[in-house]
Amino acid sequence: MSAIATFNVLHRSDLDDLVRADDADALMTAIRKHGRRVHDDYGWSGYCMLYLLEYLDERGAYLGAPELDADTESLSELLSYAVLITAEQKSFLPDLDPANHALEEIAAYFDDMGYGFEDEELTAAIDESMAVLSDSIAGLDEDEVLLIVIG
């Protein structure tokens, strides 16, 4: 089973159109209409991004915007997994530096999820995934959100 992670930047004012979508096709149409795709070159499985987000969350770096949790839940009901991230989450940028994490700890977490890597591959996956998150969040304006969809 595989999954793909996609990254779209949207204006906050466009979230209502996404939340109003009544099925996955309508939601994807709204995302294409309002979103600006970023990091199309992300080459790792969506599961790599999902488990990294969960790992960070368990260590206190919840990247989802708490004020948008209801919208995130609504979007996730139509998609496999979605998270909305705002410029306020820039405070977590230091947590997105791979040097601030023990590779062995991340490897153990991924192994627990049933998604193991060889050490060299894990280092590349974590470095690239954290760079995508860091770049995307750092580039957000106050009126923008990053929508990550994994499915």
Tens-digit pLDDT profile for the chain (151 aa)? 578 999 999 999 999 999 999 999 999 999 999 999 999 999 999 999 999 999 999 999 999 999 999 999 999 999 889 999 999 999 999 999 999 999 889 999 999 998 877 778 888 999 999 999 999 999 999 999 999 999 8
What integer pLDDT is reported at residue 2 of this predicted model? 74
What integer pLDDT is reported at residue 1 of this predicted model? 55
Coil, helix or strand at residue 147 = strand
Provide the b/e sequence for 66-90 (b: ≥16 CB within 10 Å).
eebeebbebbbebbebbbbbbbebe
What integer pLDDT is reported at residue 88 of this predicted model? 95
Cα separation values, 141 from 6, 11, 108, Å = 19, 9, 35
Coil, helix or strand at residue 19 = helix
Domain 5-150 coded CATH 2.40.40: no
What integer pLDDT is reported at residue 69 of this predicted model? 94
For 25, other C-beta atoms within 10 Å of its C-beta total 10
Domain segments of the chain as ranges: 5-150
What integer pLDDT is reported at residue 93 of this predicted model? 97
